[in-house]
Chains A and B, each alone.
Chain A
Amino acid sequence: MNQSDATLRIELQFSGGMELLFDNQKTIHAKVPASFPLDTSVEDRHAATIRDLISWTASNLLKERPELFIGTDGSVRSGILVLVNGADWELEGELEYELEDRDEIVFISTLHGG
């Protein structure tokens, strides 16, 4: 089996209004590629990170308005919180965190009235 076929089972959860961008689904069980090509060479690949997950999600799952999900530099839009297995992604390396099988990633939007 070609290494680039390996996938990871990632549970994505959306709340705080984020679910509206994903057809109102609060949970999506995604199969995300385990590795992504390097920018510099298509031959070489690196292990999937959250940065990859974000762009993969936007390309494959997002139903509308990518600008409400993706912000600058391939990160999430400012005002969207990310949790990795129940913890603040700031404790896990943010965009550089490497995904593992069965990880639970939560996207919470704070961009609405209180």
Chain B
Amino acid sequence: MPGATDIKPTKPLKNPCNLCQSVRAILKRPKTGQQLCKECFFHVFETEIHNTIVDNKLFNKGDRVAIGASGGKDSTVLAYVMKLLNDRYSYELDLVLLSIDEGITGYRDDSLETVKRNRDQYQIPLLIVSYKDLYGWSMDDIVKEIGRKNNCTFCGVFRRQALDRGAIMLNVDHIVTGHNADDIAETVLMNILRGDLPRLQRCTSIITNDTSEDSSGIETSKILRSKPFKYTYEKEIVMYAYFKKLDYFSTECIYSPNAYRGHARVFLKDLEAVRRTAIVDIIHSGEALSASVQANESTKLPTMANCTRCGYISSNELCKACLLLEGLNKGLPQLGIGHTTKIRRMHEASNLASGLSSPASLSSAVADGSAGEKVKVVTHIKDLGQLETMPTLDSMK
């Protein structure tokens, strides 16, 4: 071989990339344990998400898709990758950014600046929808009213509806969110720990379609929601953003330290330290449990109606958001949270006192509580007609 003896022996490459063998590895993948260089990592990361999108048939060509964008790590990477894949693989999607302003000073106002930068950097149009405009209450207002407990419940219900309303304003077919594998594993754990079977049944679905209903009684009419990052590890999302130098906002919501999810997250991280595959294993278990819950639950499909207050689609007379707002506006912040009979009675009493007749379904909507049980518990007999339909000992033989 010409010149072979002139070649100085070089140091063997330290930690060569498992895939290309030619460059130093910079990441050990949690998923596979492989060590990859920057370019191979980018390629694998992007291609796996593309495969997730294609295998699960998330989109149709020409769909108008809103990317739920908070300015945080997941949604920033999601916006970047959606745009990249849309261009690379010609999905022909019409992409928009949709951001929700919950009205949390010192948290959301800063992260929204990040979303605006993303809009400019990625050249994707942006719509911001605020709780204050939609509901008359910002999260700052709500926390002042109800304190630091249960505020995540309010925020979650309001955000869900706000995203749908924003999507309707934007006339989109589909909303994508940045929920990652770690998030989904946490949710599975939380739902098991809380015995929330309806949520457990739904939480591992990568796409929720228009015939599904969540426990807040809101049906998302014809707007699909999906999670392209369902199998993407949080660590990889952060590393991708770091190596690609993507600009994101990173602070914990100031109202969240007591949230239940925080405990599940710590537990999950500790489990992961002991057993590397914990996350994907829990998701796998969650999917199996989902099938099991679905098979066992004898649920009848609720009839769809419109919320009597705001017109939003709901299976109860009041949608969950209106129920929570009712509680806030009447100074009964526990309304719609849990199964507090005392609060319900106070609410009924205040309605009677002000001459309002309480819709019959209100007490049962409240009895459903935030766990969203489908069984309607009849706690107040309103009229004799109800007595006739109640089961008797004979009928239960």
Consensus secondary structure, chain A interface:
mixed
The answer for the CA separation of A100 and B272 in the assembled complex, in Å, is 30
| Cβ-defined contact, B72 with A110, below 8 A | no
CB under 8 Å from chain B, chain A span 1-44: 15-17, 20
Q: Per a CB cutoff under 8 Å, which of B15, B35, B252, B272 touches A113?
A: B252
Q: Contacts A88-B239, A114-B73, A114-B74 hold; do A109 and B25 have CB atoms under 8 A apart?
A: no
CB under 8 Å from chain A, chain B span 226-265: 234-235, 237-239, 242, 250-253, 256, 265
Q: Contacts A108-B242, A114-B180 hold; do A81 and B235 have CB atoms under 8 A apart?
A: yes
B280 to chain A, nearest CB (A): 17
**Chain B residue with Cβ nearest A16:** B250
| Cβ-defined contact, A91 with B72, below 8 A | no
**Chain B residue with Cβ nearest A114:** B74
Q: Per a CB cutoff under 8 Å, which of B26, B73, B270 touches A110?
A: B73
Q: How many residues of B contact A (CB 8 A)?
A: 33
What B residues does A109 contact at CB under 8 A?
250
Q: Contacts A15-B242, A81-B235, A91-B15 hold; do A112 and B250 have CB atoms under 8 A apart?
A: yes
Whether A111 sits at the interface, judged by CB under 8 Å, is yes
| Cβ-defined contact, A78 with B72, below 8 A | no
Q: Contacts A15-B250, A87-B15 hold; do A81 and B238 have CB atoms under 8 A apart?
A: yes
Q: Per a CB cutoff under 8 Å, which of B180, B253, B270 touches A78?
A: B270
Q: Contacts A16-B250, A81-B235 hold; do A114 and B27 have CB atoms under 8 A apart?
A: no
Whether A64 sits at the interface, judged by CB under 8 Å, is no
CB under 8 Å from chain A, chain B span 149-207: 178-180, 183
Whether B31 sits at the interface, judged by CB under 8 Å, is no
What A residues does B272 contact at CB under 8 A?
78
Q: Contacts A91-B25, A108-B238, A110-B73 hold; do A78 and B183 have CB atoms under 8 A apart?
A: no
The answer for the CA separation of A91 and B26 in the assembled complex, in Å, is 8
Q: Contacts A78-B270, A78-B273, A90-B28 hold; do A110 and B251 have CB atoms under 8 A apart?
A: no
**Chain A residue with Cβ nearest B262:** A111
**Chain A residue with Cβ nearest B272:** A78
| Cβ-defined contact, B28 with A114, below 8 A | no
What B residues does A91 contact at CB under 8 A?
15, 25-28, 35
Q: Per a CB cutoff under 8 Å, which of B70, B242, B253, B265 touches A79?
A: B265
| Cβ-defined contact, A87 with B26, below 8 A | yes
| Cβ-defined contact, A20 with B242, below 8 A | no
What B residues does A83 contact at CB under 8 A?
242
Q: Per a CB cutoff under 8 Å, which of B235, B237, B269 touches A114?
A: B237
Bitwise, A93-114 to B at CB < 8 A (1) or not (0) is: 0000000000000101111111
Report which B residues bind A (CB closer than 8 A): 15, 24-28, 35, 70, 72-75, 178-180, 183, 234-235, 237-239, 242, 250-253, 256, 265-266, 269-270, 272-273
17 further A-B contacts with Cβ under 8 Å, apart from A110-B235, A113-B70, are A15-B242, A17-B252, A78-B266, A87-B24, A87-B27, A88-B27, A88-B239, A91-B25, A91-B27, A106-B242, A108-B242, A110-B73, A112-B72, A113-B252, A114-B70, A114-B74, A114-B234
